[in-house]
Structure 1
């Protein structure tokens, strides 16, 4: 058993309260279990109890064994002097505050229903990707839907918080925030890290001066990415030679050479040619050239179709026939719809939520999340698992919620924090 299970039991008062007494024989009446504390200090704050005839207000600390109090050094910590009740599974020794006074203890051993313990152990030991899969029949569909909606918002808020931190780091510049976020997202996981570095290596103020000139824009992007270095593939390619010459002039002008990446910084392994980093850079260059005001456009687009058109800028003629500098190959002339949908999911929606939080307009959060309901559902091994178990999966909003449910609750076995797990563990009413 894990200690968080006892937290769950105390929070919901799922134990037998018949003749509730401390280890010293005082009667206990729980008026208020307190607020679960996830920061440093006792586990529950602002609890209200009757111990004997006296009402107490304070904290509750919970351990599997009473001796954990000493193992965690609480006897020397003034924060724990406010504890009015020590709730334990096993009382193996008395514990005291820093002033030497004994902390009353409640023992839960023997007060937990075998059925509750059995369901908890089953959640801990089940091996499927979804631990509660064998018990899902006990959970109404509406409870699953509400949990996925909750995890969707958690996922969007987490992404937005990352962009808020980036916005602060960039000195409160939303255009720069959009630029950095877009470049990172164009890595589509495999090359996210080098594209994050490229955003730093090619500052937006420099890029802004040359956005109108596609040749200079591509020279800066491909040069700083390290793809204009002469090699056997591109040595006789006149287009690449021209970009290289332009890059050498610009990199000297802006003193950017030290920050440039190298070809080996990029990942080509197990990627189709259409997903090669140079192809993505060409698509990115097309978007940056055609859409000079990134943040405003991403913020004001009214629907998914408008955003699809925003990302559908055609690449220049050379990159319509090359997968990397000097290597010919057939590639898409513009970013595909599925890739655009990923950018909407991972850039546009979080960016709008971050901005809504920044200006204090929560109604804009709902508008941003609504974009996800206009996108088709994502399909991967994780979402397929939940599909087979009967979870609703019709739009990208469902997909994002299911991914958050998997990563934040099912995979780390955080069943006690999950509304579905709580529903399974909820004691069944006794029929009389």
Structure 2
């Protein structure tokens, strides 16, 4: 059992309250259980309880064992002096505040239905290979509950990505064009190379990129040089194009006093990627967009439909990278595919628009931004497939993004108690039990 189960039980008051008493024998009436505290300090704040003849307002702290109070070092922290009730599964010892006064304790072990405990344990202790810990119990859950949970998970995912964009915007001096540059660059890394491309954007300032956007060769030299792909002397010796590109890069690097090759080749991920997804291919596609689109942010913000956004990211790459997957390694390279275009819209455009809508205080634009996902086809992969097999609706990218968020934020870490589906199963257990 984990402590979050007791949090859930206390928050929803899912325990037998008949003749409720502290370990010291004083009668307890719960007038208000309090509100979950997401910051440091006691677990529930602003609780209102009647203990004996006295009505108390304060905090409630929750542990599996009363002695966990000492293990967590609360006995030396004045923040916990506001605790008016120590709710535990097992009361194995008395606990006092920093001034020596006894904290009333309530032991829940004999008051929680065993059927509720067993259902909870069946959820969280499901084998790690099970995608949905609730799969066997899912038929009990109404379709509307599943749908609403997927929508909630979608919004949480979008909000988290928008939070990241907002933080980046703040770091960049509230410059939306620079923010768009960084977000687009990271987006072209997709899943495997997002972090190296984000670092590349930091190593190659937008001010430098702007000066050379009109010269594709110079832009190509700057990005590939800073990415570390023009540092192999053997490759340069056998490939004249790369050798000239490296010479151009060295000139520009000295001109702008850039640190040499901000990344090394080994920092890029090629393993288990199809050649069309190699970082060198994605880097060439980024060069194409930066060269063809003189303004990033306003174009991404005002594009009226999916087709316009697709065209924004579809720009002709430098000729060399249409014929090479890697430096000096010939091969015909396909153009950016529709699935990749849609991922860029989902992971770049939508979060960027949501972050901007929040910044300018126009919440109606958030709904418009998220609605873009409903016009994109669903993304089918090994993470979404189990949910489809269990009857979850999956018709658009909005559903895909919601299912991915449900999987990563709730199912994998077994946060069933924070999930509406898991909560519904436990509530039904109370009724059926």
- Shorter-chain TM-score tier: over 0.9
CA contact (8 A) 2:235 2:327 kept: yes
Distance 1:23 1:208, change over 3 A: same
Identify the range of structure 1 (271-280 vs 288-297) with the bigger mean alpha-carbon deviation: 271-280
Distance 1:276 1:83, change over 3 A: closer
With the length of structure 1 as denominator, give the TM-score of the two structures.
Answer: 0.94
Pair 1:131 & 2:133 matched: yes
Written as runs of structure 1 = structure 2, the 5 A alignment for 1:395-410 is 395-410=396-411
- Between the aligned partners of 2:58 and 2:344, the Cα distance in structure 1 is 49
Q: For residue 200 of structure 1, what is the aligned residue in structure 2?
A: 202
Distance 1:77 1:232, change over 3 A: closer
Distance 1:43 1:264, change over 3 A: closer
Q: For residue 330 of structure 2, what is the aligned residue in structure 1?
A: 328
CA contact (8 A) 1:29 1:49 kept: yes
Pair 1:61 & 2:54 matched: no
- Between the aligned partners of 1:243 and 1:162, the Cα distance in structure 2 is 34
User: Is the partner of 1:30 in helix, strand or coil?
Assistant: strand
CA shift digits 1:178-236 (9 cap, x unpaired): 11111112112222232222212221111101111212222222222233346555535
CA shift digits 1:244-301 (9 cap, x unpaired): 3332322221122435433333332232222222222221111111111011111111
- Between the aligned partners of 2:74 and 2:327, the Cα distance in structure 1 is 64
Written as runs of structure 1 = structure 2, the 5 A alignment for 1:20-419 is 20-127=20-127, 128-229=130-231, 231-332=233-334, 334-419=335-420
Distance 1:33 1:330, change over 3 A: same
CA shift digits 1:135-191 (9 cap, x unpaired): 111111111111111111111111111111111111111111111111112112222
- Which consecutive residues of structure 2, in runs of 5 or more, have no partner in the other structure? none
CA contact (8 A) 1:392 1:398 kept: yes
Number of aligned residue pairs: 430
Report how far residue 321 of structure 1 moved.
2.1
CA contact (8 A) 1:116 1:427 kept: no
- Between the aligned partners of 1:112 and 1:190, the Cα distance in structure 2 is 46
- Between the aligned partners of 2:431 and 2:190, the Cα distance in structure 1 is 52
- Between the aligned partners of 2:264 and 2:59, the Cα distance in structure 1 is 57
- Between the aligned partners of 1:182 and 1:283, the Cα distance in structure 2 is 11
User: Is the partner of 1:382 in helix, strand or coil?
Assistant: coil
Report how far residue 100 of structure 1 moved.
2.1
With the length of structure 2 as denominator, give the TM-score of the two structures.
Answer: 0.94
CA contact (8 A) 1:46 1:57 kept: yes
Report how far residue 403 of structure 1 moved.
1.1
- Between the aligned partners of 2:325 and 2:293, the Cα distance in structure 1 is 23
Identify the range of structure 1 (69-78 vs 383-392) with the bigger mean alpha-carbon deviation: 69-78
Distance 1:266 1:25, change over 3 A: closer
User: Is the partner of 1:48 in helix, strand or coil?
Assistant: strand
- Between the aligned partners of 1:38 and 1:230, the Cα distance in structure 2 is 50
Distance 1:109 1:222, change over 3 A: closer
Report how far residue 34 of structure 1 moved.
0.6
- Between the aligned partners of 2:194 and 2:33, the Cα distance in structure 1 is 46
- Which consecutive residues of structure 1, in runs of 5 or more, have no partner in the other structure? none
- Between the aligned partners of 2:55 and 2:269, the Cα distance in structure 1 is 65
User: Is the partner of 2:211 in helix, strand or coil?
Assistant: helix
- Between the aligned partners of 1:383 and 1:78, the Cα distance in structure 2 is 47
